[in-house]
Structure 1
Amino acid sequence: MTQPKPQTRIQKKNTTAILDAALEVFSQHGYRGATLDQIARAADLSKPNLLYYFPSKEAIHVALLSGLMDTWLDPLRALDPDGKPVDEIIGYVHRKLQISRAYPRESRLFANEIIQGAPRIHEVLGGELKTLVDEKARVLQGWMDAGQIAPADPHHLIFSIWALTQHYADFDVQVRAILGPDTGRNFDGAQAYLDVLFNKLLAP
């Protein structure tokens, strides 16, 4: 099978510009509201030039989501079965909060895809994501059975961590409207609150 030619420096630059522009457009307007014209303008490229790199809006969206999934799964992969249970879970909370802090547009892109029924990543959700969550849920259940953390449904524990951390990216405008525009202070406050919440929740 013939391997594709490596991209030139200009091609890499344009591909990066397209993906960054698309991330901004998709995170603001969602998949349905975004257009190739908007993405081309944001990337400072002509539409025909954009189509040289990606044949369709869906191709751009899939490229973004594919890259995002690894970023999304890595914090859960890092949960160590041999670590101290409470420390491992609090560490996971911190990592998820940091993802929301560092990648708010990516978080909103992912949320929009889920709201639409995940047509472009449904197989990943039912495959790689489900496998990983089930694996870590068994780890959590083992800690609960051993009396190392308080009993709770392990899957819903993971869901609650997602909800409580991704909120600060997905509802950023609402958070800043209520707490003020200082994003750094808002995330620091969120981490302090979540530390108290999960330490109390997990105490055996």
Structure 2
Amino acid sequence: MTETRIQTRNRAAIREAALEVFSRQGFGGATLDAIAGEAGLSKPNLLYYYPSKEAIYEDLLTGLLATWLDPLIALDPAGDPVEELLAYMRRKLDLSRQMPRESRLFAGEILRGAPVMMGHLTGELQRLVSEKSDLIETWAAEGRIAPVDGRQTIISIWALTQHYADFDVQVRAVLGDTDPFDSAATHLDALFRRMLSVR
């Protein structure tokens, strides 16, 4: 059944409110009352769209995973290997800059042991990482990049880009009155370029 414009707007408001509450309070600290209040809806109205906190949380995470995987999917076997991996790093850094709440939501799920996302992590994510790490190691075997472990390279890109969103308070405390993303791209570009370039 097609939703009305009001229903579409309310569902979007609930998702936006839930993203804010979950990313700030974590799953355990979030309540339906807090999400409803953030969305400007009554709790009964919210429950018309979602039967539980868990249902909202799962909807958010499932939608987020596709966004998180897109930059890795875009790794082009026909491209220049170093530039493809640097472009992937920059896309991941851009996601951290543009979607910090989403990054913290995903990190929170992982810290909980991934009760909602484990099937996705051991399914589509694992298959995609396996495919792209094989590509990276093929590039290395062909002498087009330095010898690297494909999976560890992908994990390192995750760690060094998502940290800026997930540990934003710490990063800004260390760097002071400056936007950490302004220098992060240049620093990470130089770091990965040195690691990947054939000597």
SS at match of 1:160: helix
1:1-204 alignment runs, 5 A limit: 5-183=1-179, 186-204=180-198
The count of residues paired between Structure 1 and Structure 2 equals: 198
* Identity fraction in percent: 60
Give the root-mean-square deviation of aligned CA atoms: 0.8
Q: In 2, Cα distance between the equivalents of 1:13 and 1:203? A: 49
5+ unaligned residues in a row in structure 2: which ranges? Answer: none
Show CA shifts across 1:158-193 (max 9, x none): 00000000000001111122223543xx21200000
* 2:121 partner amino acid: L
Residues 56-108 of structure 1, C-alpha deviation per residue, up to 9 Å, x if partnerless?
Answer: 00000010001101100000000001100000000000000000000000000
Report the AA paired with residue 187 of structure 2.
Y
Displaced runs of 4 or more, over 6 A = none
Q: Distance in 1 between matches of 2:27 and 2:64?
A: 15
Tell me how far 1:33 sits from its aligned partner.
1.0
* Partner Cα distance (2:187, 2:166) in 1: 18
TM-score (norm 1): 0.95
Q: Structure 2 length as normaliser, TM-score?
A: 0.98
